[in-house]
Amino acid sequence: MTASVPVEERIRRVAMLLGVDAIGFGSAEPTERTAFVRTWWDRGYGGSLDYVGNRLDERADLRRVLPGAKTVIAVGLLCPAPSPAESSKKSGSLPGPSRGEVARYAGGDDYHDVLLERIRAIEAALPEMLEKSVRTKSYVDTGPVTERAAAEAAGLGWIGKNSMLIHPDLGSHLMLGVILCDAELRPDVQVTDHCGTCRACLDVCPTQAFAEPYVLDATKCLSYTTIETKGEIPEEVRALQGEHVFGCDLCQTVCPWNRSRPKAWPADPLGLRTRLAKREEWERPTLTWLLTLDEETFRTASHKTAIRRAGRVGLIRNALVAAGNSGDRTLLPEIALHEDGDDPLLAEHARWARVQLEGLEAEGGYRDN
């Protein structure tokens, strides 16, 4: 008589049919990794991320999120690779319009929504597969759960020196979500740290946002300053921002575990990566376009994308900083629109951008397309 398929394998098969690229099972017990969130917050590395600081007890012990929780199911969905068009724009040589850099995960359908659809479907199927009622809670970067710590506990990979979860076959460009449940499932074997002596991610960071290997000071990270910061970007950060207008991928781009990953792209029969792929307007958008965005254009272009989180004003603020760093004097008219405008936040960043370009002009270092 053929042995029955273990329930963990049944759940894994259902998840793969739903289009996820990785799934693992771990204990919901607290670990040193989950407990570290308190130390991290107390050091001030969370800045204004009050949604973290307000629920530290739950982040440190997932059983406070779901009383009686025994298992965390971690799910990963691979971020699409840059399109040939985007790669071409990025490698293009002067002359040409100055462009902004948008993080790889953004600019397509919001991964929170795409991945949560998959997770909710898995969650709904659990009672039938477990053959009993089960209590669950699920999150995709929206609750008091540190997804990368849960994914590490569930054997999806290790947390690298860049503080990202690195899957040994897929790399770190994984969007993560979790399901907490009160059923006890067999945990997967955890993956050991393979970073070794490499420090490429630490050295490439323009703002030196890593307080030490494996520990990110979010307040210095360009993903924080271009997305989470709602007021002024600190002047000491602006010149280091370069062309980034939404997020930053540098610490992942240089990682050796991403250069050759994935070795083979997983099948995508449901077209999830097509949904996640950047829309054309977000493939290195021109700074001229960003600086002249009106509210209607922004809302249309950012519809159902993660870029909505920055807001129109935040995105223009970021574009002004990128313009100041571009050396492109042809952007001065668009900069002037905001320097003379009614928004004091944009006016201040516009003045900064103009001063940078005028300084380059005096030194003969500007671009004149």
- Across the chain, what does the average pLDDT equal? 94
Cα dihedral 296/301/307/310 (nearest 10): -20
| Cα distance between the two ends of the chain | 75
C-alpha distance from residue 38 to each of 34, 55, 92, 230 (Å):
8, 10, 45, 24
Per-residue pLDDT reduced to its tens digit, 135-192 = 999 999 989 999 999 999 999 999 999 999 999 999 999 999 999 999 999 999 999 9
**Residue 205 pLDDT exceeds 90:** yes
Residue 2: predicted pLDDT: 42
**Residue 87 pLDDT exceeds 60:** yes
Q: Which residues of 164-193 are buried (b: 16+ CB within 10 A; e: fewer)?
A: bbbbeebbbbbbbbbbbbbbebebbeebee
Question: 51 CB contacts (<8 Å, ≥6 apart)?
Answer: none
Question: Rg of the chain's alpha carbons, rounded to an integer?
Answer: 22
Global pTM reads 0.93
Residue 92: predicted pLDDT: 56
Q: Which sequence positions are flagged as catalytic?
A: 141
Q: Is the peptide bond before 262 cis (omega within 30 degrees of 0)?
A: yes
DSSP-assigned states of every residue in 200-237 = HHHHH-TT--EEETTEE-GGGSHHIIIII--SPPPHHH
Contact criterion met (CB below 8 Å) for 112 and 147:
no
Q: What is the C-alpha separation between 34 and 145, in angstroms, rounded? A: 9
Residue 84: predicted pLDDT: 82
Question: 42 CB contacts (<8 Å, ≥6 apart)?
Answer: none
**Residue 230 pLDDT exceeds 50:** yes
Binned at pLDDT 50, 70 and 90, residue 365 comes out as: low
